[in-house]
């Protein structure tokens, strides 16, 4: 009987994050043979995501998704999507870089730190935007908005294009009318403006960015301590697309002897994990 080549055993990895979704296609030897964006966004029906995945025509599919951690949550989503396996988004990022020992910090729309060592799994954060997501894009946008509302400043103008509080009130009222996922995305979308203002030296924006970095540091130190002082840390999430934010992050974390790994891809990691299983 003719044996199938590794290239014929294609595996699809899908990353479903707070700001969008994308896929990576692997050949059986682990090489990337395709990638792209999906139109599905957080808050859409899962059946719509299933339809998009099915159009790609791949039998083995691994999905890394924010907001799924418990076994029952994963199994429910797996059944709806009709895929091989479902994992948390931070696990997808983790398995892109590590197979068994390491840590990953996610700083995108939301935030979380996760690590594994000697079979022990530890995470901190990831409780959602209402009570957590410390140091995330949403957290940055929310804190910057609070500061901008309390004082006339360059940051107010940078965020809202106006210093007039009534005009800003109208903008915020529009956000309040949105669904929670969409409102979170809108607040998170303010973070690039905060980073730009911080990069040119605005003191209010710098305060917000440095506060966010300290929040992320606190999460990572907690996970590190629970894993016996583990210090190898991979970076994942939209905030790390900013060279300014990444440089400030690395400057702070290297004071605490963290070894930084960049370039994670949760979709690729999810596919790699399925390939290894």
115 band by pLDDT with thresholds 50, 70 and 90: very high
Alpha-carbon gap, residue 222 to 225, rounded angstroms: 5
Mean pLDDT of 140-154: 95
Residue ranges covered by each domain of the chain? 6-90+264-276, 137-261
> In sequence order, what are the residues at sequence separation of 6 or more whose Cβ sits closer than 8 angstroms to the Cβ of residue 111?
105, 125, 126, 132, 133, 134, 135, 136, 139, 215, 216, 219, 237
Window from 41-50, 52-61, 117-126, 250-259 with minimum mean pLDDT: 41-50
Split at pLDDT 50, 70, 90, the class of 8 is low
Q: What's the length of the chain?
A: 277
86-106: average pLDDT: 95
CB environment 216-234: b (16+ within 10 A), e (fewer):
bbebbbebbebbeebebbb
Question: Do the first three CATH levels of 6-90+264-276 and 137-261 match, i.e. the same topology?
Answer: yes
The pLDDT of residue 229 is 97
Portion of the chain with pLDDT greater than 70, in percent? 97
* Region 134-145 average pLDDT: 97
Q: Note the pTM of the prediction, 2 decimals.
A: 0.89
Residues 77-91 pLDDT 10s: 999 999 999 999 999
- The β-bridge relationship of strands 232-236 and 259-261 is parallel
Rounded to whole angstroms, the Cα distance separating 91 from 103 reads 10
Summary mean pLDDT of the chain: 93
Name the β-bridge partners of 103.
115, 233
Which residues on neighbouring strands pair with residue 112, listed in sequence order? Answer: 106, 125
Q: Does domain 6-90+264-276 have CATH number 3.30.420.40?
A: yes
Give yes or no for residue 113 having a pLDDT over 80: yes
- Going by their DSSP bridges, the two strands 60-65 and 11-16 should be labelled as parallel
pLDDT at 100: 86
CATH of range 137-261; options 3.20.20.70, 3.30.450.20, 3.30.420.40, 3.30.70.1230: 3.30.420.40
Q: Which residues contact 216 (CB under 8 A, 6 or more apart)?
A: 105, 107, 111, 113, 134, 135, 249
């Amino acid at each position: 009987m003719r044996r199938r080549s590794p290239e014929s055993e294609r595996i699809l990895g899908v990353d479903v994050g707070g700001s969008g979704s994308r896929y990576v296609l692997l050949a059986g030897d682990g090489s990337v043979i395709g990638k792209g964006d999906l139109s599905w966004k957080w808050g859409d029906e899962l059946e719509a995501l299933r339809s998009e995945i099915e159009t790609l025509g791949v039998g083995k599919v691994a999905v890394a998704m924010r907001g799924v951690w418990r076994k029952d949550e994963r199994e429910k989503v797996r059944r709806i999507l009709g895929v091989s396996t479902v994992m948390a988004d931070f696990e997808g990022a983790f398995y892109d870089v590590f197979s068994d020992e390491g840590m990953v910090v996610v700083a995108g729309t939301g935030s979380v730190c996760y690590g594994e060592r000697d079979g022990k799994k530890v995470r901190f954060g990831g409780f959602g935007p209402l009570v957590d997501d410390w140091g995330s894009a949403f957290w940055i946008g929310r804190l910057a908005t609070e500061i901008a509302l309390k004082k006339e400043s360059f940051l107010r103008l940078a965020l809202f294009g106006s210093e007039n509080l009534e005009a800003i009130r109208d903008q915020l009222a529009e956000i309040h009318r949105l669904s929670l996922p969409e409102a979170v995305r809108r607040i998170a979308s303010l973070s690039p403006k905060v980073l730009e203002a911080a990069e040119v030296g605005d003191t209010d924006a710098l305060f917000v960015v440095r506060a966010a970095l300290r929040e992320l540091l606190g999460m990572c130190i907690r996970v590190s301590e629970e894993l016996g002082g583990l210090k190898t840390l991979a970076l994942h999430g939209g905030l790390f697309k900013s060279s300014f934010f990444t440089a400030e992050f690395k400057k702070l974390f290297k004071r605490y002897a963290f070894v930084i790994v960049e370039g994670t891809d949760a979709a690729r990691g999810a596919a790699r994990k399925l390939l290894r299983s």
